[in-house]
Amino acid sequence: MGDLLNSGSATVLALIILGLAALGFALTRRRTVVSVQGDTRRLHSLPAYYGYNAAMLIAVPSLMVIAVWLLVQPVLVQNAVIELIPEEVVAEGSSVGLVMSDVRRVAEGLDSAVAQGAMTVQEAASLDAGATDVRAQLAEIGVALGADVQGPVLAAAQRYRTMTATGRLAMMVTALALALAGFAYAFSRTNADFRARNTVEAGIKALLILAASLAVLTTVGIVLSMLFESINFFRLHDWKDFFLGRSWAPNFRGDSDLSILPLLWGTLYISIIALAVAVPIGLFAAIYLSEYASSTVRSFAKPLLEILAGIPTIVYGLFALLTVGPFLVKIFGRGEDGLLGVDWMSGATSVLTAGLVMGIMLIPFVSSLSDDIINAVPQSLRDGSFGLGATHSETIRQVVLPAALPGIVGAVLLAASRAIGETMIVVLGAGAIARISGNPLEAMTTITTRIVSQLTGDTDFASPETLVAFALGLTLFVLTLGLNVLALYIVRKYREQYE
Amino acid sequence: MKDNVISEYDVTPLPIKIAARDVQVYYGDTHALKDVSVDIEDKTVTAFIGPSGCGKSTFLRCINRMNDTIDIARVTGDIRIDGEDIYDKRVDPVQLRAKVGMVFQKPNPFPKSIYDNVAYGPRIHGMARNKAELDDIVERALKRAALWNEVKDRLQAPGTGLSGGQQQRLCIARAVATEPEVLLMDEPCSALDPIATAQVEELIDELRENFSVVIVTHSMQQAARVSQKTAFFHLGHLVEFGDTDKIFTTPEDPRTESYITGRIG
Ligand SMILES: Nc1ncnc2c1ncn2[C@@H]1O[C@H](COP(=O)(O)OP(=O)(O)OP(=O)(O)O)[C@@H](O)[C@H]1O
Ligand SMILES: [Mg+2]
């Protein structure tokens, strides 16, 4: 029992419950078959359904209780324990979080001391910081502490231990009781007329709904957390400057210009260049692959394109910084030494560098989506066009592409939202200077790179310079969400028109 | 009246429009069409009948080289239209298909407006000099396909929004609009109600004045009503070919007889 209370206890408990579920399955199933003297045709459902029903009733509620308990208990215990720690201790130890982690370490130390037999349970519970050197005692058994243990911390740790232990015990009892109750209920309800098949169906539906709502809740949670931090930001910083200002100049001593416009401009400019590269090339590649290429060409060209899609974006970033950037400088820069003899470009990082490389990254994305969409256009439409004496390219232009258009527009918008959210390529390829300029050979910066730079290094989550990252992130999210909604809207509109 | 037509036909033999000799079609390893030889006359309706899967559509697709679009299909033998070998290297299948129109087994309107569906062929082949001429062509084609009255007020509505039978008539109008010399129709009435069927049959009879029409049908009555010649296919073979009246009254081959009697009841 003592072992069970330690870290692995939840897993062991879950295994026990699963074992119970398996047992419940077997016993209930048997009981059902026996109840009709083996003539299973008299049962409402197949015997296994009675088993599934029992297993579900045993496992699902109890496992859910365990999951919720494991999430909630630490919060409750921590809140209770924090009251024991006077404010002076917190002041010295810099923050409540740090003190609490001390408390947890001491508690774990005591646990392992008890487990190794270095202390009895009573000794651990009645330890006194004034009388014994707790740090030395714990060091003996291999638990190193950063500082001497102060009285309140030790007391808190002891409280933490007892509360955790009681909590765990209560959890085990509740979960097991629930499992057994489920077992008993399912077992007693099992008779030939019980509609186990329908109950299992309802149970499965409930599980699926649970999974779907967890996914949705996570999204909502992410958005809410961004929203709250953004609200904090707008308390500290004027929203007019953020949305309408003209300059981005963060200054960690305060009083910064934090306007999104220069960043948005960089983001959109780079994305447009990227799409200008990716959409024609990707679309033409898709048309070639799906309409003209023989199956042999297809069988090696498609995987090759898909390899392009598998390259990590940081590698594209390196490609931008080390290959494309210097190449562009060779063409457009270096004055007399350059290929064009002009000096328009000074550094390797520029809007054009990032845009080109991002375009290359998006080619396989656009082409494989368009390829699927073009392939989904029914062959009968092509036949109809050929049958009227149209050539292949006439057929593609006038029948296949219009039919595939909504899907292709959707693909382009999806590519656009990827371009807008892309980070690594612009971190390395676009530069760090926020400005609004039409010259693609200049370095500019994007929303994503600024989020990265505002959150790296020393950050203080109470200053607008850090919190602005959340406002930027939220804006980015709204932007890509808007694009996706638009994509869906367009697709649906065309669907209505042609289906 | 029908008897009159037949007897008139009997006295004046018509020139051969399509001559097929020893046509074989393979789909990969499947031998779908075996040794088919047939002469299809000009200004005549020829019906192809036979059980499902016997190769009627396959042979139809040989006549306008639609089998070229199927990777695994291989055609051998000799098919001539007006004496010209259509599988000759110098023949452009695109040109050929403008001359040999086709209505498919399943209606396949383009995702465009009704007007654009019908105008598709004439536009590609530059048949109209101006909008008014194109309008004329579209209207005439829709009238011939017995669809005009139903759609004249919504020519700009999508063709895919029509009912199945209307879609099929739209496809017929689309094929007729390009003024082909030969019209291949693969079960054009399988989705139509009796009234529309009668209208399409009337159209077929009308087309016979200028074109040669080949129609695949599962309805013996329809074959008897509209065609002057009938070809019976069975398991990839052309079993019997001759005057429709003769095939339906005194078939020579026992397979033809059992198929016809089985169907007619
Ligand atoms: N695209 C194809 N690929 C492979 N086999 C095919 C293809 N099209 C037809 N076949 C085969 O060729 C044979 C003849 O088919 P076809 O479509 O010509 O029959 P059909 O007489 O038109 O039948 P139905 O009356 O049902 O339309 C069938 O056995 C069919 O399985
Ligand atoms: Mg067929």
**Smallest Cα distance from A499 to chain B, Å:** 6
pLDDT over 90 (residue A284) = yes
Residues of A in contact with B106 (CB under 8 A): 380
- A332 to A274, A309, A324, A440, B107: CA distances (angstroms): 19, 29, 12, 11, 57
Arithmetic mean of pLDDT, B18-41:
92
A233 within domain boundaries: no
How many structural domains is chain A composed of?
Answer: 2
B54 lines ligand 1 (CB under 6 A): yes
Predicted pLDDT of residue A459: 67
A32 within domain boundaries: yes
Predicted pLDDT of residue B4: 44
Bridge partner list, B231: B48, B241
Give the structural domain span for A459.
244-494
Q: What are phi and psi of B24, to 5 degrees?
A: -120, 140
Q: Are B40 and B17 in contact (CB under 8 A)?
A: yes
Predicted pLDDT of residue A279: 95
* One domain, residues A298 and A433: yes
**Smallest Cα distance from A404 to chain B, Å:** 10
Start-to-end CA distance of chain A, whole Å, equals: 66
Predicted pLDDT of residue A106: 81
CB pairs < 8 Å spanning A and B: 73
Nearest alpha carbon to residue B177 among B248, B128, B240, B244: B128
A206 within domain boundaries: no
Regarding pTM above 0.90, the answer is no
| Residue among A381, A398, A402 minimizing CB distance to B108 | A381
> Long-range pairs for A435-438 at CB < 8 Å and ≥24 separation?
A435/A262, A435/A266, A436/A246, A436/A261, A436/A262, A436/A265
Q: What are phi and psi of A328, to 5 degrees?
A: -65, -40
CA distance B231 to B237: 10
Burial class (CB in 10 A: 0-12, 13-18, 19+), A79: exposed
* One domain, residues A434 and A338: yes
Q: Go through chain B and tell me how many residues it has.
A: 265
A292: domain CATH number is: 1.10.3720.10
Question: Is the pLDDT higher at B7 or at A101?
Answer: A101
Q: What are phi and psi of A320, to 5 degrees?
A: -65, -45
pLDDT over 70 (residue B62) = yes
A464 within domain boundaries: yes
* One domain, residues A184 and A253: no
User: What confidence tens digit (pLDDT) does each residue in A468-494 have?
Assistant: 889 999 999 999 999 888 888 877 776
Arithmetic mean of pLDDT, B21-35:
92
* One domain, residues A319 and A424: yes
User: What confidence tens digit (pLDDT) does each residue in A65-74 have?
Assistant: 999 998 898 8
Nearest alpha carbon to residue B225 among B209, B203, B241: B203
Measure the CA dihedral B158/B159/B164/B169, to 10°. 150
B27 lines ligand 1 (CB under 6 A): yes
Tokens of B33: 């069409």
List residues in chain B touching A: CB distance below 8 A.
64, 66, 69, 71, 94-99, 101-102, 104, 106, 108-112, 120-121, 124-125, 158, 160, 171, 174-175, 178
Burial class (CB in 10 A: 0-12, 13-18, 19+), A184: middle
Predicted pLDDT of residue A152: 76
| Residue among B158, B160, B175 minimizing CB distance to A388 | B175
Q: Does A94 touch chain B (CB under 8 A)?
A: no
Q: Are B173 and B122 in contact (CB under 8 A)?
A: no
* One domain, residues A173 and A255: no
A377 within domain boundaries: yes
Residues of A in contact with B174 (CB under 8 A): 384, 388
Q: Any idea which of A102-116, A183-197, A228-242, B33-47 has the lowest mean pLDDT?
A: A102-116
Select from B33, B52, B54, B102 the residue to mutate for testing ligand 1; criterion: most ligand atoms less than 8 Å from CB.
Answer: B54
Q: Are A459 and A370 in contact (CB under 8 A)?
A: no
Q: Any idea which of A83-92, A230-239, B207-216 has the lowest mean pLDDT?
A: A83-92
Residue type, A204: I
- Find the largest Cα–Cα distance for chain A: 101
Protein fold of B14-260:
Rossmann fold (3.40.50)
Nearest alpha carbon to residue A143 among A119, A95, A101, A107: A107
Of A194, A213, A230, the residue that ends a domain is A194
CA distance A74 to B105: 69
A219 within domain boundaries: no
* One domain, residues A183 and A248: no
SS3 B243: strand
ipTM: 0.88
Question: Is the pLDDT higher at B1 or at A153?
Answer: A153
Nearest alpha carbon to residue A229 among A478, A468, A3, A493: A468
Interface of A with B in 391-430 (CB under 8 A): 391, 394, 398-399, 402-403
Tokens of B3: 């008897």
SS3 B92: coil
Select from B56, B59, B71 the residue to mutate for testing ligand 1; criterion: most ligand atoms less than 8 Å from CB.
Answer: B56
CA distance B191 to B209: 26
Is the CB of B108 less than 8 angstroms away from the CB of A386? no
* One domain, residues A249 and A308: yes
Task: With both helix axes pointing from N to C terminus, report the angle between A379-387 and B164-177 in degrees, rounded to the nearest 10.
Answer: 30
Residues of A in contact with B64 (CB under 8 A): 387
